[in-house]
Structure 1
Amino acid sequence: MRNVVLYELVSLDGVAEEPGEGNWFIDSDQRLMDNLAEVIARQDTVLLGRRTYEKWAPHWPASTMQPFADFINTTPKILFSSTALHPTWSATTQVTGNAAANVADLKRRAGGDIGIHGSLTLAQALLREHLVDELRLVVSPSLAGGGRRLFDDTGDLQRFSLVSADRSGGCLLLHYRRRDA
């Protein structure tokens, strides 16, 4: 059984909206990139929502930010959107059906971890359905004050166990695993 791993940058008050737009993500160092490399090394599939896809598809093919650029440009991506799109980004397949059912099916197949990066609406939908097995959170030492929060509307009680905690500058690198996984 494959694991769905949610990797998100969040502020102390839980905002996970695009960090560059609110300038709330601060105070990290090389350990952040090392942590990201550890996370993506186990992933062979990435799940994206429409808004994240529309922002990332024009950006990442020309990016030199490693290790993420090579990873996201070559790894198979599943785009969940009910809007008819014509994905042009390499290794992208669009799914218009029920995300939870599709992800549950993906989890039963052989392979590495399934990553979610960004894509708050999709992340929240999968959390509501108890389909997220691991949380890899980078907590920035700032209060964003406003913006979409990761843990709004995530359904009923879910319990996770702390696997590890580390630092990158003033940021916390937190790794949690679902208790019933």
Structure 2
Amino acid sequence: MTRNVVLYELMALDGVADEPGEGEWFGGADERLTEFLGEVISTQDAVLLGRRTFEKWAPYWPYSSLQPFADFINSTRKYVFSSSRPVLDWPGSLVHVPTPAGEFVRHLKQQAGADIGVHGSLTLARSLLADDLVDELRLVVAPSLAGRGTRLFGGATHLQRLELVSSDRTGDCLLLHYRSRR
């Protein structure tokens, strides 16, 4: 049995999922967002992060009390994709991965364990989508058009068919859960 790679992203209606602008374009959620995030992370025992996300999160999450994510991200094995070892240290398990993401993730999926999460990390997320390695998408879609920024689904990829597992709301935001049909 292989492990699932689960991509969790906050995004605007036009597909923009990065900063700058997160503080401007993301909003309209209520307490259901925390429940949704809890559902997503409850099945994960590893997280894949890009270098920039790691460098942004490493100074913040070890000191955060924002639950349920703080306890999860601080106690979960984190694989950081970067050509060089990150300068920042993050308590808990951290593995620096200099090899190509696709090759590493294919191998990781074959090992025993629970789901593998991808949180933020747009460059990594887009690479894994292009390599058809994402098994589930858990999206929080904000009721806004960001206009500028990196889009999650931008760039070259091939046709991928998805199955809608569930949809819900948190305030004015949509909570979408898709599974790959491959």
* Same fold, TM-score > 0.5, yes or no: yes
- Cα distance between partner residues in 1 of 2:24 and 2:7: 22
Q: Distance in 2 between matches of 1:175 and 1:22?
A: 23
* 1:172 paired residue among 171, 174, 177: 174
Instruction: Name the counterpart of 1:89.
Output: 90
Identity %: 62
Match of 2:89, SS state, is: coil
- 3-state secondary structure, aligned to 2:59: helix
- Mapped to 1, the partners of 2:88 and 2:116 lie a distance apart of 20
Which of 143, 156, 172 does residue 141 from structure 1 map onto? 143
Tell me by how many angstroms 1:21 deviates: 4.3
Q: State the Cα deviation string for residues 27-73 of structure 1 (Å, max 9, x = none).
A: 00010000000000000000000000010000111111100011001
Deviations 1:9-33 (A, max 9, x none): 0001100003764511010001000
Q: State how 1:19-168 maps to structure 2 within 5 Å.
A: 21-90=22-91, 91-168=93-170
Task: Letter of the 1:128 partner, please give it.
Answer: A
Task: Could you list the structure 1 runs, at least 4 aligned residues long, displaced by more than 3 angstroms after superposition.
Answer: 18-22
Cα RMSD (Å)? 1.2
Give unmatched runs, 5+ long, in structure 1: none
Contact 2:55 2:86 in 1 (8 A): no
Q: CA deviation at 1:85?
A: 2.4
Q: Which runs of 5+ in 2 are unaligned?
A: none
CA contact (8 A) 1:9 1:19 kept: no
